[in-house]
Structure 1
Amino acid sequence: MSVVTRFAPSPTGYLHIGGARTALFNWLYARKMGGKYLLRIEDTDRARSTPEAIEAIIDGLSWLGLEHDGEITYQFARAARHREAADEMIARGTAFRCYMTAEEAEQARAEAHAEGRALRSPYRDGPRPPSPNAPFVVRLRAPDQGDVVNDDLIQGEVRIKARDIDDLVMLRADGTPTYMLSVVVDDHDMGVTHVIRGDDHLTNAARQIVIYRALDWTPPCFAHVPLIHGEDGKKLSKRHGAQAVHEWRDMGYLPEGMCAYLMRLGWSPGHDDILSKEEAIPQFEIGQIGKNPARLDFKKLDSVNAHFMAIARDERLTELLIERLEAKRGAPLTEAESIVLGRAVPVLKKRAKTLLELAEQCRFLLSRRPLVLDEAAKSHMKDETRQRLRRLRERLAAAPQWEHADLSAVLKAFATDEGVGLGQVGPGLRAALTGGAPSPDLGQTLELLGREEALARIADQI
């Protein structure tokens, strides 16, 4: 059997991190088994589905590197096929036309709930319609006997009594198919063998198994993944911070860092190594996904992303950094600024957990002269400090090599000659060079700025 998985988001909003993890698990399993990973947009809710949401979902998946196989399936466009399946169910006797009015259906539902039983339509046994042209819905003829068993690949055996399943609506009075029917028909027609999704759909599995049987189709294997909770163990909400993939991207996380972190929210391969999604493919097993909700841990996310920042290609990080800085500035960087950043990224990337941190650490390089010192930097600029900076500038100007190690040696020798420690030289020099912005050690800072710029910045403050 060739494995086929799918990710089937509803385009009513952004791509949630829970949805991204579900897509990732589907992608991993399909790649592990040499199968296909498909994408279906469940856009049947026309009032809430938007082109912008569809674009955001596709863009988010592409950014994460979760490219799907084949063309995207749009559920709404398949409504005629869904109605065809409902007609087939009627012909097989596993569905029927129900002529209850909306008020009658609501009353029947309330009575069933009060009596602790499933909804059973009075029209399932064939009473005549109240009038020849009476409106109707098409309902599933739910079985009254036996059990419906879902051998879930994560949750284990889930068994419910068939009599506890309602006579579910398959087609509404206006002829539009319901979610429950559409999902089954689409999964069948797309050849889906494994439905990997959030456990908020666990109760739907039994209903969908009954619909599969009503159409004489073989149900797929189900795997229901526990949801992601906040650090406090509660269901994710706005108070837990960013929940959308694009928000995490805006916060400076790399796609490989996000994937590596998300896949470990619930999945344990038996070790703590940080894996790229490609490295995880041969190790991924659905059965290794736990049954309990995973908790967000932003410190762990930062740690994982820092790993990928450190090993990322310098050219790529520089491009991403320039793109981010230009978007913030609203104008392109100069060629000289781009060159400076390209020189700095290999040095500074190992100190940054995110692109935002990297941008902040590079800020001193792009500051325009004369620098505006922050309050902390100003506090170091006393008369004695300025006099010492004059002498230090002369020493630095005479340095034969403008490299990290040589410059650090110059600073150490200067402090010795001044009869003070580096702690009395460094703060004033750093203030003059950076204005108070974050920066690496002073030898590195001097090298990254370059001889001309560094000496000019010192001169501005003395």
Structure 2
Amino acid sequence: MQATPGQRVRTRFAPSPTGHLHVGGLRTALYNYLYAKSMGGDFIVRIEDTDQARKVEGAERSLLNTLEVTGIVPDESFIHGGNFGPYVQSERLGIYSKYCEQLLEQKQAYYCFSTAEELEANRKLQMKQGMQPKYDRKWLPEEMGGNMPESEIRRKREEGAPFVVRMKVPDYISIMFEDMIRGPIEFDSATVDDQVLMKSDGFPTYHFASIIDDHLMEISHVIRGEEWLSSMPKHILLYEFFGWEPPKVAHLPLLLNPDRSKLSKRQGDVAAEDFISKGYSPEAIINFVALLGWNEGEGCEREVYSLDELKDKFTLRRVGKAGAVFNVEKLGWLEKQYIKARPASEIISAIKPLLQAELAKKETGMDADRLVSDDYLGQVIELMRERVNFEHEFISFSRYFYFDPEEFDEKAVAKRWVDDTNEVLGEFIEVLENTADFSADNIEAALKAFVAPREKKPAFLIHPVRILTSGVGFGPSLYHMLEVLGKETVIRRLRKGIGVVGK
């Protein structure tokens, strides 16, 4: 199901400013963005802050910043502007009040003065009786089929008693709609509660405000999580009450942990900001999130997509109904693919400021200008591409390219050092000093030529040389690592290391 001919596609992401952006929210935003862009339409961000008690100061800007960092830039928002604002619900209270009055006049909504204690007692009683908890319609007026006299309602209002406004759900009807992912769905109105539309603080509920805003902002498609599916009957009824055409809707599959349980904040990092702060790139995050429910087609094994490619290929027809498993290992794999493919120039631009900050704080013992040169960093990147998991690890995981080792891996030393290791190392240093062309090939040839007459294998020197020059017992090709470090640094580190290790 696509857009109605002649209708401009307008989608929206409507987060509540209650904290960080959950990956489920990021997926919802991404799918709305991709659908709008694939159809040549508009993507809107609207802040739904009707729950003032849970509002976190500054969260709306943080949410928008996270979206933009990952490449999801809205066409309209409270920052970008647009012709359908305000884009923050707390700035639209007068609009909701007007439409609430309309429903009251149409006898499709009513005042409710039930206290929190009464509501809780009624809920417990219904559950004890094995019934679905619903409002008991104590305050439904006589003229709307209830038992409350209009005079009592008037008296309560004149007293200034706190109240909410509830919608009157019609009895004994079927409520049907077509979901773009799940197909036709039907609800019995007997299962639908008389939803609160306006709260006692004068703010609308999500259900009421979102319907009004979607209509006034000309939203053509509502794409949201499966958890909102049960709310659809209320929303359909509200559209009917106002005589409005509802937008097309699609409910996305739940996000699941690898054990098939529902993804929860209590089970680890689930905020998009968490993954950004850990070093995952926006490209990998967006790619990963896109695959949480969508695939290009049957038999397609491709898994790496740029945002532009996703805009071109995305369709709701390829979004599944079943829960999508959130496997962070997949995100790690994608990050590796992006690191392998990313041009060295882009990585250099990203890591050079990090390295310069490190060099400003700590003595290196090497030529600092050379260390931050594009040529040197490019060599480090090509050596370490296969070994790093994140871009920042070209610095943090590769410190021996920039700083002399301050300590040496004790287990590696214990495994590789024997009685004559330092003596042989000392002799090999002289060979290196006399190696004019300090290239990987020449270093390898010199080492093998050196150990052969001593009836030792190359590994006898390879491992100690690596440990003394890097501090660790693992890494990229030793010979290429030594070439990049340079003759002066290698010899200095070897001499210094012999004085410390194996004594």
> Do they fold alike, i.e. is TM over 0.5?
yes
Could you give the per-residue CA deviations for residues 242-269 of structure 1, whole angstroms, max 9, x where no partner exists? Answer: 2111211222211101111111111121
Q: 1:210, CA displacement in angstroms?
A: 1.0
In the alignment, structure 1 residue 376 sits paired with structure 2 residue 415: no
Q: Which residue is 2:36 aligned to?
A: 30
Q: Which residue is 1:123 aligned to?
A: 140
Q: Which residue is 2:421 aligned to?
A: 385
Q: Which deviates more, 310-319 or 199-208?
A: 310-319
- Distance in 2, Cα, partners of 1:116 & 1:42: 28
Alpha carbons of structure 1 residues 100 and 348: separation in structure 2 relative to 1, 3 Å:
same
**Partner SS for 2:245:** coil
Could you give the per-residue CA deviations for residues 359-413 of structure 1, whole angstroms, max 9, x where no partner exists? Answer: 44312213236x4212124323444222222232222233333333343333333
Pairing partner for 2:96 from 82, 86, 91 = 82
TM-score by length of structure 2 reads: 0.84
- Distance in 2, Cα, partners of 1:200 & 1:31: 25
TM-score by length of structure 1 reads: 0.91
Q: How many residues get paired? A: 461
Contact 1:361–1:439 at 8 Å: present in 2 too?
no
In the alignment, structure 1 residue 272 sits paired with structure 2 residue 297: no
- The percentage of counterpart residues that share the same residue type is 30
Q: 1:192, CA displacement in angstroms?
A: 1.3
Name the Cα RMSD after superposition. Answer: 2.6
Q: Which deviates more, 99-108 or 294-303?
A: 99-108
In the alignment, structure 1 residue 303 sits paired with structure 2 residue 333: yes
Alpha carbons of structure 1 residues 108 and 374: separation in structure 2 relative to 1, 3 Å:
closer
Q: Which residue is 1:183 aligned to?
A: 210
Given residue 82 of structure 1, which amino acid in structure 2 is its aligned partner?
Answer: Y
- Distance in 2, Cα, partners of 1:160 & 1:238: 31
Contact 1:348–1:361 at 8 Å: present in 2 too?
no
Given residue 372 of structure 2, which amino acid in structure 1 is its aligned partner?
Answer: S
Alpha carbons of structure 1 residues 109 and 218: separation in structure 2 relative to 1, 3 Å:
farther
Pairing partner for 2:223 from 196, 215, 231 = 196
- Distance in 1, Cα, partners of 2:370 & 2:93: 57
Alpha carbons of structure 1 residues 432 and 97: separation in structure 2 relative to 1, 3 Å:
same
- Distance in 1, Cα, partners of 2:433 & 2:151: 99
- Distance in 1, Cα, partners of 2:445 & 2:17: 60
Alpha carbons of structure 1 residues 46 and 384: separation in structure 2 relative to 1, 3 Å:
same
Unpaired runs of 5+ residues, structure 1, are none
Q: Which residue is 1:287 aligned to?
A: 317
Q: 1:295, CA displacement in angstroms?
A: 1.3
Contact 2:33–2:72 at 8 Å: present in 1 too?
yes
Q: 1:5, CA displacement in angstroms?
A: 1.1
- Distance in 1, Cα, partners of 2:192 & 2:237: 9
In the alignment, structure 1 residue 159 sits paired with structure 2 residue 186: yes
Unpaired runs of 5+ residues, structure 2, are 1-6, 79-86, 144-148, 499-503
Pairing partner for 1:320 from 339, 346, 350 = 350
Could you give the per-residue CA deviations for residues 28-80 of structure 1, whole angstroms, max 9, x where no partner exists? Answer: 11111111111112122222211242233222212211111123321211121
Contact 1:199–1:227 at 8 Å: present in 2 too?
yes
Q: 1:103, CA displacement in angstroms?
A: 4.7
- Distance in 2, Cα, partners of 1:321 & 1:437: 25
Q: Which residue is 2:471 aligned to?
A: 435
In the alignment, structure 1 residue 133 sits paired with structure 2 residue 133: no
Pairing partner for 2:71 from 65, 68, 71 = 65
Given residue 67 of structure 1, which amino acid in structure 2 is its aligned partner?
Answer: V
Q: 1:106, CA displacement in angstroms?
A: 4.9
Q: Which residue is 1:243 aligned to?
A: 270
Q: 1:437, CA displacement in angstroms?
A: 6.4
**Partner SS for 1:76:** helix
- Distance in 2, Cα, partners of 1:10 & 1:210: 24
Alpha carbons of structure 1 residues 239 and 51: separation in structure 2 relative to 1, 3 Å:
closer
Given residue 203 of structure 1, which amino acid in structure 2 is its aligned partner?
Answer: S
**Partner SS for 1:350:** coil
Q: 1:144, CA displacement in angstroms?
A: 1.8
Q: Which residue is 2:105 aligned to?
A: 91
- Distance in 2, Cα, partners of 1:36 & 1:203: 27
Q: Which deviates more, 4-13 or 349-358?
A: 349-358
Q: 1:331, CA displacement in angstroms?
A: 4.3
- Distance in 1, Cα, partners of 2:293 & 2:55: 30
**Partner SS for 2:110:** strand
Contact 1:12–1:53 at 8 Å: present in 2 too?
yes
Could you give the per-residue CA deviations for residues 170-221 of structure 1, whole angstroms, max 9, x where no partner exists? Answer: 1123322111111111212222111111111111122111111111111111
Q: 1:104, CA displacement in angstroms?
A: 4.8
Given residue 284 of structure 1, which amino acid in structure 2 is its aligned partner?
Answer: F
